[in-house]
Amino acid sequence: MLEAKHILKLVEAHIQNAGFPDEPKGLYEPAKYILSAGGKRIRPCLALMSANLFTDNVEPQIPVALAMEVFHNFTLVHDDIMDNAPVRRGLQTVHEKWNMHTGILSGDAMLIQAYKLICQSPSSVLPNLLEMFNNTALLVCEGQQLDMDFEHEQEVALATYIQMISNKTSVLLGCSMYCGAIAAGANAVDAQHLYKTGLELGISFQIQDDVLDAYGDEATFGKKPGGDIVQNKKTFLVLKALAVANNEDKQLLQQLYTDKTIGSDKKIATVLAIFNKYQIRKLAEDTMEQYYQSAIAAFEAVNIPVERKAALAGLIESVFKRTH
């Protein structure tokens, strides 16, 4: 069994090219740029480590794993355009470094390249892989649309927020684990257990992201805490606070998220004070734990000897316990 660090090295050795040609540079250079800009590589690692549960040789599954990372980065390129974000991973975003038209077109090329990578799989598993990937890709788009809709909605139910992060983030983690396993010869039942593992882990991951944005240490998180608050983002924390706060605090919170004259530092401090009053961080961490335990239960249901699961179990735990 390969350890996570060896899987990561394997991913990094192949991701820099990912099958993109050199010309035209204006189309492919931006794709190579964002793929070389780093990132945790969680999705391709989950794909290859899921494959490794069922085979000792994961080389044939590398194209599927790369497809997950290429697709993920395609969504980032287009998300950055929609958010008008200037920086990604400490570097200029693609549309800032080039232009918006290049960002759109290069992103489109990345999406197509992801399909080309998946299509390198044997014909015996290809229909199954494409069905899962097609469904996932559409759900990711639905999640992004929900996220954009939230910007204009006064109230968002927590259940709707969970659905959004499930579509926008979690389904691709589940898809990565499912496709890696199927490509390596797993049966449908075990592959579905791995899909559920990724799905539940992804929801926990995103709620953790919300917590880190509000409470993370700047030195390890890589940015100043409170960015989501300043940008009026409807995170798990604020939606939970709106659900449990008394009327006075609820009205204050709503005012803080609509009044553009309040300074950033005062806004962050006041919102965090409300969060702390109602122990919102603990409520969020309790919810994270519930989804994490659901992921572990699904993973334990995979009918593979425990010793073969150890490396992937370690990666799953590290994702849950991350600090950035």
Q: What is the pLDDT of residues 128-181, one digit of tens each?
A: 999 999 999 999 999 999 999 998 888 899 999 999 999 999 999 999 999 999
Instruction: State the DSSP string of 85-129.
Output: --EETTEE-HHHHS-HHHHHHHHHHHHHHHHHHHTTS-TTTHHHH
At 83, the pLDDT band (50, 70, 90 cuts) reads confident
What integer best gives the mean pLDDT of the chain? 94
Question: Which one, of 101, 12, 79, 88, lies nearest residue 48 by Cα?
Answer: 12
Instruction: Evaluate whether the domain defined by 4-320 bears CATH number 3.40.50.2300.
Output: no
CA distance 179 to 60: 12
pLDDT at residue 191 is higher than 90 = yes
Residue 65 has pLDDT above 70, yes or no: yes
Residues 181-190 have pLDDT tens digits of 999 999 999 9
Residue 223 has pLDDT above 90, yes or no: no
Q: What is the pLDDT of residue 324?
A: 63
Q: What is the pLDDT of residues 251-305, one digit of tens each?
A: 999 999 888 889 999 999 999 999 999 999 999 999 999 999 999 999 999 999 9
What's the rounded Cα separation, in Å, for the pair 312 and 4? 7
Give the residue ranges of DSSP H helices in the chain.
4-15, 25-35, 42-52, 62-83, 94-97, 100-118, 126-150, 158-165, 171-183, 188-215, 218-221, 227-230, 236-244, 247-256, 264-277, 280-300, 306-320
pTM: 0.94
pLDDT band at 90 (very low <50, low <70, confident <90, very high): confident
Checking if the pLDDT of 239 tops 70, the result is yes
% of residues, the chain, pLDDT over 90: 83
The pairs formed by 98-106 with CB atoms below 8 angstroms and a separation of 24 or more are: 98/26, 98/30, 102/26, 102/27, 102/30, 103/30, 103/77, 103/78, 104/78, 105/27, 106/27, 106/28, 106/30, 106/31, 106/77
The residue ranges of every structural domain in the chain are 4-320
Dihedral sign, Cα of residue 173, residue 315, residue 183, residue 185: negative
Confidence bin at 34 (pLDDT 50/70/90): very high
The percentage of residues in the chain with a pLDDT greater than 70, rounded to a whole number, is 98
For residue 321, the model assigns a pLDDT of 78
Instruction: Give pLDDT, residue 323.
Output: 65
Give residue 221's pLDDT. 61
Which residue did the predictor score with more confidence, 222 or 176?
176
Angle (CA) 79-138-33 rounded to 5° is 35
In Å, how far are 40, 67, 284, 314 from 292, measured between CA atoms? 19, 25, 12, 13
